[in-house]
Amino acid sequence: MTTATPATDATPLRVVRARASVSRFAGLARAEWTKIRSVRSTVWTLLLFVVITVGLTALLTTLVVHSPNDPRAAERDARILADPVGFILGAGIGLGQLTICVLGVLLITTEYSTGVIRASLLAVPKRLPMLMAKLTVFAGLMLVLAAIVSFGSFFVGSVLLHSMTAVSLSDHNVTRAVIGAGLYLTVLGVFSLAIGLLIRHTAGGIATVIGVVLVLPILTSLLPGRWGAHIDAYLPEQAGSKIFGDRPEAAQLLSAWEGFGVFCLWTLVLLVLGAWLLQRRDA
């Protein structure tokens, strides 16, 4: 396998040296796409996201429809009937969103753990364009996949739930909820990436995101009084998920879009902080 005589002079570059900045960014975006598709873990995580979310929606709605009638079930059914689209979307996304949390973190932390970040930053020493390209590609990919998952879950769920109640996209707020779920998942991916960018370690990053998304809401929902309700409502996951389903027990402090706006704001703040640190820290 040894090439005895190096032959670099046989392969000089015949490429135009100057490039427009538009094509430069397109090149960076293509590079980020190559990074995502060329690693098995990212591809598997994305597949898992689709399968888990749609699968769980189907499973949970089926269980609800076919569960025996007991007093506890009646109470639950009443809640479902009050917000059927919220139930359908929440059923799969509740767990499925964790794959997106993991993926968002992994996308940046594996660069650090494997050392690819050095290659990446040598190629793009200004650093910020690399991050922008990564965000663009990941958000674009998420938008498409999350839309598929969101609409897929809704159709599967509404068909299965049909014997209980009829939900259609033309119903009040249903389209908003279904599209909103896709947007929520996309922003959640970016939110997780921002946390990965700040923490730079896979385990720490995943633990932090899961903590914020799953654990914090449980703790803050126990906080007493008006302040507790405000803290609870303005948490990233609590605020963001309002766009596709209400938790009836939570205080109604934010409208669906306001909540989503708060979630976007959280994400933006973390991103700006992460970008600032990316520029400053030694790689």
Size of the site for another protein (CB under 8 A): 47
Q: Which of 71, 126, 170, 249 binds another protein (CB under 8 A)?
A: 126
Crossing angle (nearest 10°) for helices 84-114 and 71-82? 80
Task: Provide, rounded to whole angstroms, the least separation between the CB of residue 122 and another protein.
Answer: 6
Sign (positive/negative) of CA torsion 219, 221, 227, 229? positive
Q: Which of 59, 73, 118, 276 binds another protein (CB under 8 A)?
A: 118
Work out the number of other CB atoms within 10 angstroms of the CB of residue 80: 18
Residue 31 is a binding residue for another protein (CB under 8 A): yes
* 232 close to 250: Cβ distance less than 8 angstroms: yes
Q: Which of 35, 134, 200, 242 binds another protein (CB under 8 A)?
A: 35
Interface segment toward another protein; rule CB under 8 A; list 51-59, 106-114, 153-161, 225-233:
106-114
Residue 15 is a binding residue for another protein (CB under 8 A): yes
Residue 8 is a binding residue for another protein (CB under 8 A): yes
Residue 38 is a binding residue for another protein (CB under 8 A): yes
- Please give the Cα distance from 150 to 179 (Å, whole number): 7
Q: What is the 3-state secondary structure (H, E, C) of 187-243?
A: HHHHHHHHHHHHHCCHHHHHHHHHHHHHHHHHHHCCCCHHHHHHHHHHCHHHHHHHH
Binding residues for another protein, rule: CB under 8 A, are: 1-9, 11-13, 15, 17, 19, 23-24, 27-28, 30-32, 34-35, 38-41, 110-111, 114-126, 130, 280, 282-283
